Amino acid sequence: MAVTKSIQTASLSIEVQKDVDKAGDPIYAKKTFSNVKTDATAQNVYDVAEAIKGVMEASTRDCFINESSSLVNA
């Protein structure tokens, strides 16, 4: 039997600088945006992340798509 993966939920996380450590290096925290469409293309999610990063006051770093899936034995 074949197992299939079905994406149930997706969210977008962007690393945002929240502070600096004693050495002056940036400390990042993740800002998460829920309810990303599960059928959204990677390019579209990336474009939205870049637009969000463009209006944030704090410095940003990487962005991530977080997916939660279920496995079904078909």
* Residue ranges per structural domain of the chain: 3-73
The whole-angstrom separation of Cα 68 and Cα 10 is 6
What's residue 1's pLDDT?
72
What's residue 74's pLDDT?
78
CB atoms within 10 A of CB 31: 17
Residues of the chain with pLDDT under 70: none
What's residue 59's pLDDT?
95
Query: Could you give the strand order of the β-sheet that contains 60-73, starting from the edge strand earlier in sequence?
Result: 26-33, 3-20, 60-73
Q: Are 37 and 44 in contact (CB under 8 A)?
A: no
What's residue 29's pLDDT?
97
